[in-house]
Homo-oligomer: A and B are copies of this chain.
């Protein structure tokens, strides 16, 4: 008799797992059912800011495959608006509630993939549930926010200066709103060192965003159930629209309630093959914790690229193949106005916390040979371990053509290169693509010289 695979959550991780499992096992051998709480599967959540900003015109563009395609081409039974509310590991079944109400129905499984994603951090503040306060976690959130724009709001407050917050601030400026951004930290982009994050604050102000750093939201003022303003320690910011971009945490409550172990990050624990400690129960995507190859500690990082890879690994293993997810080095990239921002590895603060003694060097260079038309400025910060000279992390803030350089750094980090070793790397050079010393190599040289000077006590 065919095994039954139940997948909870129909976005990147869940659908990748379903596809890969199907790729290896036919419908007579493995039945696959996906329960998705929302109205869409297999979409690009990372594309929501561009949908809101108008660069992407159609919601459809963000959907890579529709449920019918999974059903018709892959024999994957996708059930939309179906929320799994309980997992029973003894009965090996999940309780599913549809959108028509009524008691949940129990659906049996032989193999289970938990791909429940992340939940946005919502401040426990008065007014946070008022109408006009939006998250940007799911495509449904994005669609709701698009709908709100049709009411011609004038003023928006974005709470949180991370990637999502900044991308949303830019999107709302593009839509003609007056936008304020509030962050409790002294610099936006807390995933960078403060000196690099400061460059972004300037870019945001240039765009016309009113930036309030080092301020906490105290409450949202509402009237008639609708939000009217955000209040910080220092001021009241009138707002027709609030967008919360405060980061996320793993959506692991369902798993934890069932007895599937979660780790210190609150992400579900899995081995390298993405299996939880429970036989036949797998987890992938934003709901899990993974291994950081530099800090050597568990981390929970919500990113579509990890979710896709982990889903693929899960599906290959369920399908009878062998695949492993090797952990992450903390790579991320974003575009804010004309600025490209990227990071990999550990920030200075993270490196200290992980027990290293970081030394950082910032280099200013250009994306092309200085004399070649279109050469743009970029800054690159390289962080090395003082004792060993090993690369610990790197950050880039620059204009067009800057950010993708982070990939070469991410691969160097993966292999635990020292900055001295990196000075010899055979990176590509031609005037339309780089100065004769690529900024990555210049930064490696400067960092190596710094480590060397410290070694010699100079």
Contacts and interface: CB of A to CB of B under 8 A. Distances in A.
A57 to B, nearest CB: 9
A371 B431 contact: no
A349 interface: no
Interface string A211-222: 000000000000
A334 interface: yes
Given A331-B427, A410-B428, A426-B329, A371 B44 contact: yes
Interface string A50-64: 100001100001100
Interface stretch (A135-143, A304-312, A378-386): A304-312
Contact of A428 (B55, B342, B373, B414): B342
Interface in A17-41: none
Contacts of A431: 44, 46-47, 50
Q: Which of A303, A305, A309 has the most CB of B within 10 A?
A: A305
Nearest to A308: B436
Contacts of A372: 47, 50, 55-56
A159 interface: no
Interface string A413-457: 011000001011111111111101110100000000000000000
Contacts of A423: 309
Contacts of A334: 430
Interface string A329-354: 11111110000101010000000000
Contacts of A305: 426-427, 429, 436-438
Nearest to A373: B55
B371 A326 contact: no
A290 to B, nearest CB: 10
Contact of A326 (B55, B309, B342, B424): B424
Protomer copies: 2
Interface in A134-181: 163
Interface string A395-410: 0000001011111101
Q: Which of A333, A401, A426, A433 has the most CB of B within 10 A?
A: A426
Contact of A426 (B50, B330, B434): B330
Contact of A404 (B47, B55, B373, B404): B404
Interface string A356-382: 000000000000010111000000000
A47 B371 CA distance: 8
A288 interface: no
Contacts of A306: 426
B414 A425 contact: yes
A325 interface: yes
A206 to B, nearest CB: 18
A158 to B, nearest CB: 18
A306 B427 CA distance: 10
A11 to B, nearest CB: 11
A268 interface: no
Contacts of A433: 333, 335, 340, 403-404
Given A306-B426, A324-B424, A333-B430, 19 more contacts: A46-B429, A46-B436, A50-B372, A305-B427, A305-B436, A308-B437, A325-B424, A335-B433, A340-B433, A404-B405, A404-B433, A405-B407, A407-B427, A407-B428, A407-B440, A408-B411, A410-B425, A410-B426, A411-B415
27 contacts: A44-B369, A44-B371, A44-B431, A44-B436, A46-B369, A46-B436, A47-B372, A55-B372, A304-B436, A305-B427, A305-B436, A308-B436, A324-B424, A325-B424, A326-B421, A326-B424, A332-B430, A333-B428, A340-B432, A342-B428, A344-B428, A404-B404, A407-B427, A407-B428, A414-B415, A414-B425, A415-B415
